[in-house]
Amino acid sequence: MFDHIAQSVPYQHIQLPNSLLLDIKRLDLIHPQISGNKFFKLKYNLLAAKQQALSGVLTFGGAYSNHIAATAYAAHLFGLKSIGIIRGEELADKPLNPTLAKAQSLGMHLHFVSRSKYRLRDDANYLQQLHQQFPETFIIPEGGTNELAVQGCQEILSQSDLEQYDVICCAVGTGGTISGLIERSSADQEVLGFSALKGDFLPQEIRHWTKKQNWSLTDAYCCGGYAKTSPELLAFIENFEEQHALPLEPIYTGKMMFGLFDLIKNNYFSKGTRILAIHSGGLQADIRNKSHQ
Ligand SMILES: *Cc1c(COP(=O)(O)O)cnc(C)c1O
C-alpha cells in the first residue's frame, strides 16, 4: 500500500512575482483525512508490528490529533488493531469530535486518561504498565516520531526532488518529518523548517535524529504556540487558498506558507532559488470552524 504512494504525489507550481521557483509537493492529496506525512511516519512502524507478529499498535494523542486519525486509518488498512491513549479523562463522557469518531469507526479503541497520566507518555514505568494492559501491541510515541518514522519520512523525497530544488520547506511539530527530509536531502540543499509551536526543544530533538547540518528552523511564525493563530495568519491563509486553489490549515501548513511568503517578501532567498514546499496535509483537523481551545 505504501510503495506506490510516494511516486504518485502531484506537484503544484505556484507563480511568484520574482525569479524564484516554488513547487508544492501535495502530500495532502494522498488521503482526504490523513496527514500525508503521517503515512510515511507510520510505514516502518506498522511493518515492524507485523514482523514481530503483534496484533496491533498503541499510540498517544490529543482529541484533534492528526497522528491519532492517521494511525487509526493506516492500522485498519494493515489489518492491525489500534489503541489510542487520548488526553483528557473528561472526554470519555462527551460525544466524540469528528477526529475521534472517525478513529473509532476505523476500529480504534479509545482509552481516555487524565492530563497528569498523559504526561507520563514517555515514562518507562508507565509504558511497561500499558504493555501489560494491552499486550501484543507495538507502542508508537505521541506524534509518531521515532527512528522508524524518520526512516519512513526519507521516502517523502524522490531522487528528482534532490536534483530539482535548492531549498525544501516543511512544517514542524515533533521534528520527525524534517529529520527524515534532512537525512535524505543532498548536501547542497537547505531544509527549512517552520515550527507550529514555540520550539526551544526542537533543534536538540532534530539533532538526535540526524547529524547533518544543512537545515534551519524558525518558530517566528507559530503565532505564540501550538494551534494558536493570529488575524494576519488567518487572512493570509484565506487569501492564499483563494489565489492558488490550494487548501491550508492554520496549525501546520498555513504557518509554513505564511512564513515562507514572509521570507520571500524579505528577500531571504537569492535570485533563481528553486523551492519545494512539502504540503503535509492536516486538513482533517482544521480548527477554523470548530470551537477548539
Ligand atoms: C504531524 C504534522 C506535522 C508535523 O510533523 P512532525 O513529524 O511531528 O514534525 C506537520 N504537518 C501536518 C499536517 C501534520 O499533521
Domain termination residue (choose one: 104, 135, 166): 135
Q: Do 224 and 80 fall within a single domain?
A: no
Task: Give the pTM.
Answer: 0.94
Residue nearest to atom 13 of ligand 1 (CA): 282
**pLDDT band of 271, cuts 50, 70, 90:** very high
Ligand 1 pocket mutation pick from 44, 172, 210 by most atoms within 8 angstroms of CB: 172
Confirm whether 259 is domain-assigned.
yes
Nearest CA to ligand 1 atom 4: 173
Domain residue limits at 76:
55-135
Residue nearest to atom 10 of ligand 1 (CA): 171
| 145 ligand 1 Cβ < 6 A | yes
Question: Is residue 45 a part of any domain in this protein?
Answer: no
Query: String of b and e for 221-238 (b: at least 16 CB within 10 Å)?
Result: bbbeeebebeeebeebbe
Whether 166 and 97 share a structural domain = no
Cβ-proximal residues to 117 (8 Å cutoff; 6+ apart), any chain = 89, 126
Do 158 and 267 belong to one domain? Answer: yes
pLDDT band per the 50, 70, 90 thresholds, residue 289: low
Question: Is residue 213 in a domain?
Answer: yes
Residue 146 Cβ < 6 Å to ligand 1: no
Annotation marks residue 65 as catalytic? yes
- The answer to whether the CB of 63 falls within 8 A of the CB of 57 is no
pLDDT, residue 176, reads: 98
Number of domain units in the chain: 2
Is 182 a pocket residue for ligand 1 (Cβ < 6 Å)? no
**What local confidence, expressed as pLDDT, does residue 293 receive?**
33
Asked if 273 contacts 20 with a C-beta cutoff of 8 angstroms, the reply is yes
Within a domain: 250: yes
pLDDT for position 17: 78
Report whether pLDDT(121) > 50: yes
Q: Are residues 191 and 274 in the same domain?
A: yes
Of 151, 206, 148, 208, the residue nearest 174 (C-alpha): 206
User: Do 173 and 252 meet the contact criterion of CB atoms below 8 Å apart?
Assistant: yes
pLDDT at 188: 97
Separation of CA 51 and ligand 1 centre (Å) = 26
Instruction: Please tell me the predicted confidence (pLDDT) of residue 102.
Output: 93
Q: How far is CA 75 from CA 66, 131, 287, in A?
A: 14, 18, 25
In a domain, 276, yes or no: yes
Has residue 291 been placed in a domain?
no
In the beta sheet, which residues pair with residue 192?
169, 216
What pLDDT, in 10s, does the model give residues 21-80? 999 999 999 887 778 899 999 999 999 999 999 999 999 999 999 999 999 999 999 999
Looking at the fold, whether 29 and 69 belong to one and the same domain comes out as no
SS (H, E, C) the chain: CCHHHHHCCCEEEECCCCCCEEEEEEHHHCCCCCCHHHHHHHHHHHHHHHHCCCCEEEEEECCCCHHHHHHHHHHHHHCCEEEEEEECHHHHHCCCCHHHHHHHHCCEEEEEECHHHHCCCCCHHHHHHHHHHCCCEEECCHHHCCHHHHHHHHHHCCHHHHHHCCEEEEEECCCHHHHHHHHHCCCCCEEEEEECCCCCCHHHHHHHHCCCCCEEEECCCCCCCCCCCCHHHHHHHHHHHHHHCCCCCCCCHHHHHHHHHHHHHCCCCCCCCEEEEEECCCHHHCHHHCCCC
pLDDT over 80 at 228, yes or no = yes
What's the rounded Cα separation, in Å, for the pair 243 and 213? 35
Q: How far apart are CA 170 and CA 191, in angstroms?
A: 8
Let me know whether 92 and 168 are in one domain.
no
Q: How many CB atoms lie within 10 A of CB 163?
A: 10
pLDDT at 2: 64
What is the number of the ligand 1 atom nearest to the C-alpha of 193? 9
* Percentage of residues in the chain having pLDDT higher than 70: 95
Query: What's at 39, amino acid-wise?
Result: F
Give the pLDDT of residue 34. 79
- The answer on 169 and 232 residing in a single domain is yes
**Same-domain status, 231 and 257:** yes
Same domain for 163 and 270, yes or no, is yes
- 175 ligand 1 Cβ < 6 A: yes
The predicted model gives 93-116 an average pLDDT of 96
Which residue in 19, 55, 65, 291 is the catalytic one? 65
Minimal-distance CA residue to ligand 1 atom 2: 173
- In the predicted structure, residue 267 carries a pLDDT above the cut 50: yes
User: In terms of DSSP bridges, do strands 11-14 and 21-26 run parallel, antiparallel, or are they unpaired?
Assistant: antiparallel
pLDDT in tens, 151-187: 999 999 999 999 999 999 999 999 999 999 999 999 9
194 and 69, same structural domain? no
Same domain, 244 and 158: yes
Q: Both 125 and 70 in a single domain?
A: yes
Domain boundary residue, one of 100, 135, 170: 135
Q: Specify whether the CB–CB gap between 2 and 43 falls below 8 A.
A: yes
Ligand 1 centroid to residue 252 C-alpha, Å:
7
pLDDT the model gives residue 160:
96
Per the prediction, the chain carries an average pLDDT of 94
The CB of 252 under 6 Å from ligand 1? The reply is yes
What CATH number does residue 80 fall under?
Answer: 3.40.50.1100
Share of the chain above pLDDT 90, in %: 88
Last residue of a domain, one of 135, 163, 189: 135
Tell me, using a 6 A CB cutoff, whether residue 179 lines ligand 1.
Answer: no
